[in-house]
Structure 1
Amino acid sequence: MDVTLRQLRAFVALARTGGFTRAAESLHITQSALSGLIKELETQLGVRLVDRSTRRIQLSEVGREFHSVATRVLRDLDGALDNIDNLKRLRRGIVRIAAPQLMASTLIPEVIAGFRQAHPDIQIHLMDCAVESAIAQAVRGEVDISIGPSREGLSDVVADPLFDLPFMAVFPPGHPLDSLKRIGWADLMRHPVIVLQGQFTDQLAIDLQKQSSITPVRPSHEVTFMSTALSMVNAGLGVTAGLPYAQHLVDLYGLRMRLLHDPEIRRQFFIYSRQHASLSPAAEAFVQYLHEHVGQREWGI
């Protein structure tokens, strides 16, 4: 049987209004078109659904049973279509984001706040974690998007460039580095250096060796989160290197941040999403807003 939605809607409208004229008017079609749809439906089903008379119409016994089913089908379908329309128009939806702990405590809350003002019905779930864990969540499809630095060997993900920023020296006010007109990596390493564990420091050592004759970083302390490193710098335990998007948190600790030279080493960050998996309208809108927000930042360099 090839029953169409137009036939079902015509039948339900006829049962609701009790007459061909009013049913046709409610559907904005002619009475003859409505009559034709009912006849097509009865032919498809092989039964009479409507008992016709000169004054009024009545549903047959089969028609009454079929009416309850047709009404439920159309109600469920219309509900599903409304739900899709709400998602498309950003009247509802959920965006799940994984971001490194430092970014989750600096840049991302600003973006979420601005996005929620424009789209108050969209829920944002933020998972703050270590850098490698953030990227892995996108690879496993546990979040819609994750944000992190460039990593080799990633498969099954799409990497959308977000920003490219240079490393900055971070130190307390009055520190000897502050008296230098130009701070180089060699200047930084004359002091106890606090670094992040894992690939952060490993890649930094590789970049320094490629671009200069500077010996690899020999940290005085290795920590998991940059907020810990900043706290230790604030306590006078050493200096560190970070990226400009952390300027807000650096200011909260009362620290100084200046560009590192000789060489200038940069880090590119990406928005990662699972390959061959379409983002929801809400997630697409958030990604677009994130790009716009980052594009407006000067990063204090």
Structure 2
Amino acid sequence: MSIKQLRAFIAVAQTGSFTEASDRVHLSQPALSIAIRNLEQAVGGTLLVRSTRVLALTPEGEQFLPVALRLLQDWDGALDDLHNLFALKRGLLTVAAMPSFAGHQLPSALAEYRQSYPAVRIRVQDVVAEEAVAMVASGQVEMAVAFELDCSDDLAFEPLYTDNFVAVLPPEHPLLDHSTLNWPQLADSPFLTLQAPSMIRQMVLDIVAEHQLALNIEFESHQLVTIIRMVVCGLGVSVVPSLCIPQIEQQGAEWRPIQQPQVARQVGIYTRKRYPLSSAASAMIPVLHQIAGRPPA
């Protein structure tokens, strides 16, 4: 049984005329007759009875007509739904982002995306970089924005930009007299860092170890925003991604670039290699590139 056969049967049943039905479904009368005959062969019995004067449905045809109408409606509805998905008139976008990106650049990207695709629903997971990448690998989200990590070959990483980490300092700290800072200067102050396991923490510790220095770690936290707030309160200094500069300034802290060697990491988009993206997710990628190319607000 085919959709063409269903349309032919419904047209004949509703019009009571092969001539009118042919015009409705854009088939010649011989092709229409063949479609009806093939349908009857498929269901195993006669659905229409016609003579020189009368065209009528058999009892079985009467019972089948509402079923055929429902099947055709479901088919047309499914096609409309699929078209709307591809046309981004509906759909779902699932994305994860590390907090430093989710708290600053992602909202701007979502606002711009929503202007173009208002009917697409969006679900955001604000999680640490490692978890964001893991959510892509497990299929919980279609894409994630995070720092580049050593991860599975099943994942693709598309760079957006390089983030050079900065030192964050409390107001009126003596180190603010310098336009740039070095690691020995930072090592002399009480230091605040993320709790393990954290890729950012490990990057900082690796840099310090390369220079045979030791940080005076006095406070730890799971969130960068908490680290910044503790710096503002004068509990020490820290090193954070430059993504956090808006939060640093909003909370009243100060920041300075770090001299070579810098702590730097690429920020990019993670997707699964063997799974094609939905139209909703594909449309988000150029928006993320556009937002990432803008200077910090």
With structure 1 as the length reference, what TM-score do the two structures score?
A: 0.88
- Alpha-carbon shift at residue 299 of structure 1 (Å): 3.4
State the distance in 1 between where 2:153 and 2:223 align.
26
Whether 2:296 is the aligned partner of 1:299: answer yes
Which residue does 2:203 correspond to in 1?
203
Distance between the aligned counterparts of 2:231 and 2:34, measured in 1? 81
2:236 aligned with 1:241? no
CA distance in 1, matches of 2:115, 2:77: 27
Name the CA distance, whole Å, in 1 between partners of 2:207 and 2:56. 83
**1:226 aligned residue:** 224
**How far did residue 214 of structure 1 move?**
4.8
Deviation larger for 195-204 or 221-230:
195-204
- Opposite residue 248 of structure 2, the aligned amino acid is V
Following the alignment from structure 1 to structure 2, what is the Cα–Cα distance between the partners of residues 185 and 246? 19
Name the CA distance, whole Å, in 2 between partners of 1:134 and 1:238.
Answer: 29
Structure 2 residue aligned with 1:24: 22
- Maintained 8 Å contact 2:179/2:256: no
1:69 — aligned with what? 67
Contact 2:171 2:254 in 1 (8 A): yes
> Bigger shift: 111-120 or 66-75?
66-75
Q: Do 1:186 and 1:214's aligned partners in 2 also have CA atoms closer than 8 Å?
A: no
Secondary structure of the 1:95 match is: strand
Corresponding residue number in structure 2 for 1:89: 87
SS at match of 1:220: strand
Contact 1:19 1:56 in 2 (8 A): no
Paired amino acid for 1:203: M
* 1:130 counterpart residue number: 128
Give me the TM-score of the superposition, normalised by structure 2.
Answer: 0.89
Is residue 253 of structure 1 aligned with residue 251 of structure 2?
A: yes
- In structure 1, C-alpha distance between the alignment counterparts of 2:281 and 2:151, rounded to whole Å: 25
Partner in structure 2 of residue 111 of structure 1: 109
State the alpha-carbon separation in 2 of the partners of residues 22 and 94 from structure 1.
42
- Give 5+ residue unaligned stretches, structure 2: none
Using the TM superposition, give the Cα deviation of residue 23 of structure 1 relative to its aligned residue in structure 2, in angstroms: 1.9
Of 54-63 and 85-94, more deviation after overlay is shown by 54-63
Alignment of 1:143-158 (within 5 A): 143-158=141-156
Cα distance in 2 between the residues matched to 1:56 and 1:269: 74
Distance 2:252 2:10 in 1: 70
- Unpaired runs of at least 5, structure 1: none
What is the 5 A alignment of 1:33-72?
33-72=31-70
> 1:21, 1:189 → 2: CA distance?
91
Matched pairs, number: 295
Instruction: Work out the percentage of aligned pairs sharing the same amino acid.
Output: 34
Contact 2:93–2:121 (CA<8 Å) still a contact in 1?
yes
Q: What is the rounded CA distance, in whole Å, between the counterparts of 2:30 and 2:167 in structure 1?
A: 80
Which of 277, 280, 283 pairs up with 1:279?
277
CA distance in 2, matches of 1:291, 1:17: 56
**Counterpart Cα distance in 2 of 1:242 and 1:138:** 25
Give CA-to-partner distance per residue, 1:181-227, whole Å, 9 cap, x none. 332233333322211122321222224545xx252444222211100
Deviation larger for 168-177 or 4-13: 168-177
Cα deviation for residue 241 of structure 1 reads: 1.6
CA distance in structure 1 between the partners assigned to 2:216 and 2:148 by the alignment? 23
**Which residue identity does 1:181 align to in structure 2?**
S
Is residue 102–residue 225 contact of structure 1 (8 Å, CA) maintained in 2? no
- AA paired with 1:101? P
- Displacement of 1:68 in angstroms is 2.6
Report the Cα offset of residue 56 of structure 1.
4.8
2:182: which partner in 1? 184
How many angstroms apart in 1 are the aligned matches of 2:43 and 2:222? 68
CA distance in 2, matches of 1:138, 1:217: 34
Of 226-235 and 243-252, the range deviating more from structure 2: 243-252
Amino acid at match of 1:205: L
Instruction: Provide the alpha-carbon RMSD of the alignment.
Output: 2.3
